[in-house]
A and B are shown apart, each in its own frame.
With several copies, the nearest count.
Chain A
Amino acid sequence: MKKVINRQEDIIEEMIEGFLCVNEDLYEKLDRGVVLKEKKDKVGILTGGGSGHEPLFLGFVGNGLADGAALGNVFAAPTPYNILEVIESVDSGKGVIQIYGNYAGDVLNFDMAAELAEMEGIECKSILVRDDVASAPLSRYEDRRGIAGDVFVIKLAGAAADEGLSIDEVARISQKAADNTRSIGVALSSATIPGLEKPTFTLAEDEIEFGMGIHGEPGIKRTKMMKADDLTTQMMETLFNDYPYKKGDEVSVLVNGLGSTTQMELLIVNRKVNQMLKEKGITIHHNDVNNYCTSQEMGGLSISLLLLDDELKALYNKPAYSPYYVKNA
C-alpha cells in the first residue's frame, strides 16, 4: 500500500506541522500534540488517542471544541507524558477533562497521565466514549469501544466548558453526551498502517464486516455485500434494538465515512437513515455527513445518533470552529 509519507517515524510530527500551517494563528504545537494558542479561563477539554483517524483528533481542537489533543502513533494510544504535556497546557487551574475512546491502550495511558497530573495538583477527570454498539452487548457496556461518537462528546464538552461551568458540571454533561451516543459501523475493505506493507485485515470482494471497529476489530458478523438500503436498515435496527428510541425523541445524526467510501455513498445511506428516523417519529435536530473519524483507507461507514434533551440541545447549538468542524450560531 502506497502512502505519501517520508520516514515512518516522522509521520506524526510532520502531520502536526502540516496541520499547524492550516491555521497558525489558532494552534500551537506540542511534542505529540496540538493545543489552542489562546488559553481560556475555563475547564480544559482534552481529547486524543491513536493517530490514523484524521481529522480526529487534532481536527477537533478548536473554539467550542477541545482545547488540545494528544496524539499517539497510528492506532496506538499516546504516551502518558504526551498526554500530560497537553493536560498541563490546557489547564487554567480549573481542571481538565479527558475525552477518549474506550480502548485498553488508551485507558492505560490516560490513567497514568491523570495520575501524573494529579501529582502536580491538576484535577483530571476522564470521560470514556463507548458508542460502538457492535463492540459488546449491552450487558457488557463497560467493554464497548469508542468510534465516531467522539465527535458529539467533544462538541458538547467544549460547549459546556465555554459556558464557564465547574469541572463537575462539565463532566456530568460530557458523560451524559457519551451515554446518549450510539454508533454502528460497517467495513467494506481493509486499512493499512503507514509503513507496513500489508493491510491489518482483508475482506473478500463480496464480503463486508458488520460492526467492525475502526482498527479492524471484528464486529458482529461477516456477511455478503448488500444494497445500501438493506445495509442501512440493518444498521439502524441494530441501533434501535440497543435503545428504546421513541416517537418525539430528538437526535443529531452523523453519517461518517471511514476513508475510501465516497461522499455519494454516504449521502445515499443518509437518505435512508432520515427516512427510517422519520418513520419512527424521531426528529432530526442536525444531520452531518462527513469523514470525521476515519480509519486509513478503510472502506465503510458508521452511523451515530446523539439523543438530545433540552440541556444538550442548547449546547449542541453553540458555535464551534476548527478547520474540520464548523458550527455556526
Chain B
Amino acid sequence: MEHYLNIPQTVQMMKFVCQEVMDSKPLLTEIDSAIGDGDHGIGMEVGCKAALQELQRNEFSTINDIFTTTGKSMIKTMGGASGVIFGTMFLSGFHKQDEVTTLNVETLAKSFDTSLHAIKKRGKVQPGDKTMVDALVLAVEKLHQSAHQGAALKEGLENAVEGAHQGVEETKQLLGRVGRAKSLGERAIGHQDAGATSVWIIFKSMHQWLEENDK
C-alpha cells in the first residue's frame, strides 16, 4: 500500500470505523454509566449508523466530502454533547479547507488539528478537562510527529492510536471539569472518559483497516 489512501479506500476505511464504533456500544455505555449518564454508546451508535448509511449511499469526489458527510451525519442525528463534538471532529478539519483527493499523514494531522481547535472553542474545553480532547490532542501530536518524520499513513495512525490511548489513560487521573463528570469530584478519579475512549476506538479502527487491507 502507498503512503496515502484514495477516495474509495478512504470511504471503506471510514465505513469500517463506523462499524467498529457501533460494535463498541456496550463498552462505551459502561464507561459513560460509571461517571456520566450512560448514553454515550447509544449516541455514537446512532451517529455512526447514520454516517454509514450516507457513506454507502453517496459518491464522493473529494476526501473532504467523505469526512464532512460523516461529521454532518453525526451532528444531524446524535444530539447530546458528543453529537456536536464528534460531528465537529470530522467536519471542521475538512469543511471550507483545501480540497484533496488523497489522504496521507500530513492531511490527517492538519485536519484533525483544525478540528481540535474547533472543538476546544465550541466545547469551551482544554486538555486536562477529562474529555475526548485529552485523547485527540495526543493523537494529533503523534500525527504531526509522524508527518514530520515522513512516516507512512499506517505508521502514522499506529502512533496516533498510541497517543489516543495515552490520552484515555490520562483521563483516569483527571477530575471532570465539563459535562456530567464535573459534579463527581474525586469520585471521577480512576474512571476513563467515554468520549476519549471513542477517539481511541476511531483511530484504532482506522489503523486496523489499514493493517487488514495492506496488500
Direct A–B contact present (CB less than 8 angstroms) = yes
Query: Do the beta carbons of A195 and B81 come within 8 Å of each other?
Result: no
Interface residues of B in 112-130 (CB under 8 A from A): 122-123
Q: Mark A106-145, 1 if CB is under 8 A from B, else 0.
A: 0011001000000000000000000000011000000101
- Given A104-B180, A135-B183, A216-B37, decide whether A79 and B42 contact each other with a Cβ distance below 8 A: no
Query: Do the beta carbons of B123 and A104 come within 8 Å of each other?
Result: yes
**Shortest Cβ gap from A314 to chain B (Å):** 36
The answer to whether the Cβ of B1 comes within 8 Å of any Cβ in the partner chain is no
- Given A108-B123, A218-B187, decide whether A73 and B37 contact each other with a Cβ distance below 8 A: no
Mark the stretch among B10-18, B72-80, B145-153 that contacts chain A: B72-80
- Which residues of chain A have C-beta atoms less than 8 A from B76's C-beta? 79, 81
- Given A105-B80, A108-B85, A217-B180, decide whether A200 and B37 contact each other with a Cβ distance below 8 A: yes
Query: Do the beta carbons of B183 and A217 come within 8 Å of each other?
Result: yes
- Given A79-B76, A196-B38, decide whether A143 and B182 contact each other with a Cβ distance below 8 A: yes
- Which residues of chain A have C-beta atoms less than 8 A from B185's C-beta? 218
Complex Cα gap A75–B43 (Å):
10
- Which residue of A is nearest B38, CB measured? A200
The answer to whether the Cβ of B156 comes within 8 Å of any Cβ in the partner chain is no
Cβ-defined partner of A76 (8 Å) among B33, B75, B80, B85: B80
- Given A193-B42, A217-B180, decide whether A50 and B29 contact each other with a Cβ distance below 8 A: no
The answer to whether the Cβ of B84 comes within 8 Å of any Cβ in the partner chain is yes
Query: Do the beta carbons of A75 and B75 come within 8 Å of each other?
Result: no
- Which residues of chain A have C-beta atoms less than 8 A from B178's C-beta? 104
Complex Cα gap A77–B83 (Å):
9
- Which residue of B is nearest A219, CB measured? B183
- Which residues of chain B have C-beta atoms less than 8 A from A78's C-beta? 79
12 contacts between A and B (CB under 8 A): A50-B80, A75-B38, A76-B78, A76-B80, A77-B80, A105-B79, A108-B83, A108-B85, A108-B122, A109-B79, A112-B84, A215-B37
The interface of chain A, by Cβ under 8 A from chain B, is: 8-9, 50, 72-82, 103-105, 108-109, 112, 135-136, 143, 145, 193, 195-196, 198, 200-201, 213, 215-219
